[in-house]
A and B are shown apart, each in its own frame.
Chain A
Amino acid sequence: MRRSLVVAILVGVAMVSLSGSAAAADLIIDVSGPEEAVAGEELEIIATVRDAVSGGPVEGVPLVFSSNAFFGGVTGEIRLGAVVSNNLGVATYTTAFTVRGIHQVRVEIEDDPETERAAVTIGVDIGSQIVGAEAGISIPGLGSWFITAVIAAVWVIMIVAALWLVRVSRSGRDDARADEEEGPPRGRRRRAFNLAPIVVGVMTVLALGLVAVLMRSPDTHHNFDPEGYDRSPVAYLDAAYVYPGLGLADIGSLTGEAVGDGRTLFLKLGCAGCHGLNAQGGASAGSPAFATRQWLGTVARTGLPGGMPAYSEADLSDAELDAIHAFLLDARDVLADESDRDDADAAATTTTEAEAASTTTMASGGEQAAPSFAEVQEILQADCSACHGAFGGWSAADYDSVVESGDNGPAVIPGDADNSLLAQKLLGTQSSGSVMPPGGSLADSDIQVIIDWIEAGATP
Chain B
Amino acid sequence: MSTWREELEEATLEPARTTTRNYYLVIGVLLAVIAWALYAYFVQLRDGLVVTGMSDRISWGLYITMFVFFIGISHAGTLISAILRVANATWRTPVTRMAEFITAVALMTGALFVIVDLGRPDRFLHVLIYGRWQSPIVWDVTAVTIYLTASLLYLYLPMIPDLAFFRDRLKGQVAGWKSSLYRILAINWKGTDGQKQQLHSSISIMMILIIPIAVSVHTVVSWIFAMTLREAWNSAIFGFFFVAGAIFSGIASLIIMMALLRRVYRLENFLTLQHFRYLGFLMAAMAGVMLYANISEYVTAGFKFEEGSEFIFRQLFVAEFAPYFWFYLIGGLIFPIVLMSIRRMRSIGGIVTAAVFVAVAMWVERYFIVVTGLRAPLLPYEPANYAPTWVEWSITAGGFAFFALLVTLFVKIFPIMAVYEIVEEREGQETSHRAYEAEIASSGSLTQ
Residues of A within 8 A of B (CB): 144, 147-148, 151, 154-155, 157-158, 160-162, 164-165, 167-173, 175-176, 192-196, 199, 203, 206, 209-210, 213-214, 216-218, 220-221
Known A-B contacts A168-B189, A210-B142; A158 and B157 likewise in contact (beta carbons under 8 Å): no
List B residues 141-185 near A (Cβ within 8 Å). Answer: 142, 145-146, 149-150, 153, 156-157, 160, 184-185
User: Which residues of A sit under 8 angstroms from B133, Cβ to Cβ?
Assistant: 144, 147-148, 214, 217
Residues of B within 8 A of A (CB): 127-134, 138, 142, 145-146, 149-150, 153, 156-157, 160, 184-185, 187-190, 192, 194-195, 198-199, 201-202, 205-206, 209, 213
Known: A161-B205, A165-B202, A168-B160. 10 other contacts (CB 8 A): A154-B146, A158-B150, A164-B201, A167-B198, A169-B188, A172-B195, A175-B188, A213-B129, A213-B131, A217-B138
Q: Is A192 in contact with B209, judged by CB distance below 8 angstroms?
A: no
Measured in the bound complex, the distance between the Cα atoms of B202 and A171 in whole Å is 15
Known A-B contacts A160-B205, A206-B149, A210-B142; A169 and B131 likewise in contact (beta carbons under 8 Å): no
Q: Is A157 in contact with B195, judged by CB distance below 8 angstroms?
A: no
Q: Is B146 in contact with A155, judged by CB distance below 8 angstroms?
A: yes
Q: Is B184 in contact with A193, judged by CB distance below 8 angstroms?
A: yes
**Chain B interface mostly helix, strand, loop or mixed?**
helix
Q: Is A168 in contact with B142, judged by CB distance below 8 angstroms?
A: no
User: Which residues of B sit under 8 angstroms from A161, Cβ to Cβ?
Assistant: 153, 157, 202, 205-206, 209
Closest 10 CB pairs of A and B: A172-B188, A169-B187, A164-B202, A161-B205, A217-B132, A217-B133, A213-B131, A173-B188, A161-B202, A214-B133
CB distance from B325 to the nearest CB of A (A): 36
Q: Is B209 in contact with A154, judged by CB distance below 8 angstroms?
A: yes
User: Which residues of A sit under 8 angstroms from B127, Cβ to Cβ?
Assistant: 213
Known A-B contacts A195-B184, A217-B138; A164 and B131 likewise in contact (beta carbons under 8 Å): no
**Chain A interface mostly helix, strand, loop or mixed?**
helix
CB distance from A162 to the nearest CB of B (A): 6
User: Which residues of A sit under 8 angstroms from B130, Cβ to Cβ?
Assistant: 216-217
Known A-B contacts A168-B160, A195-B187, A214-B133; A158 and B149 likewise in contact (beta carbons under 8 Å): yes
Known A-B contacts A192-B188, A196-B187; A217 and B131 likewise in contact (beta carbons under 8 Å): yes
Q: Which residue of B lies closest to A213 (CB)?
A: B131
Measured in the bound complex, the distance between the Cα atoms of B195 and A160 in whole Å is 16
CB distance from A343 to the nearest CB of B (A): 32
Q: Which residue of B lies closest to A191 (CB)?
A: B183
Of the candidates A147, A168, A206, the one whose C-beta lies within 8 Å of that of B199 is A168
User: Which residues of B sit under 8 angstroms from A196, Cβ to Cβ?
Assistant: 187
A sample of 26 cross-chain residue pairs with beta-carbon separation below 8 angstroms, ordered by A number, consists of A147-B133, A148-B133, A151-B142, A154-B209, A154-B213, A155-B146, A158-B149, A158-B153, A158-B206, A158-B209, A161-B205, A161-B206, A164-B199, A164-B202, A165-B187, A168-B160, A168-B189, A171-B192, A171-B195, A172-B188, A173-B188, A194-B188, A195-B184, A195-B185, A213-B138, A217-B134
User: Which residues of B sit under 8 angstroms from A173, Cβ to Cβ?
Assistant: 188
User: Which residues of A sit under 8 angstroms from B189, Cβ to Cβ?
Assistant: 168, 172
User: Which residues of A sit under 8 angstroms from B150, Cβ to Cβ?
Assistant: 158
Q: Is A171 in contact with B145, judged by CB distance below 8 angstroms?
A: no
User: Which residues of B sit under 8 angstroms from A221, Cβ to Cβ?
Assistant: 134
Known A-B contacts A158-B153, A164-B201, A171-B195; A176 and B132 likewise in contact (beta carbons under 8 Å): no
Measured in the bound complex, the distance between the Cα atoms of B134 and A217 in whole Å is 9
Q: Is B205 in contact with A171, judged by CB distance below 8 angstroms?
A: no
Measured in the bound complex, the distance between the Cα atoms of B132 and A218 in whole Å is 6
Q: Which residue of B lies closest to A164 (CB)?
A: B202
Q: Which residue of A lies closest to B152 (CB)?
A: A199
Q: Which of B133, B142, B198, B213 has the most CB of A within 10 A?
A: B133
Known A-B contacts A192-B188, A209-B128; A165 and B209 likewise in contact (beta carbons under 8 Å): no
Q: Is B131 in contact with A176, judged by CB distance below 8 angstroms?
A: no
Q: Is B190 in contact with A213, judged by CB distance below 8 angstroms?
A: no
User: Which residues of B sit under 8 angstroms from A170, Cβ to Cβ?
Assistant: 188
User: Which residues of B sit under 8 angstroms from A175, Cβ to Cβ?
Assistant: 188, 190, 192
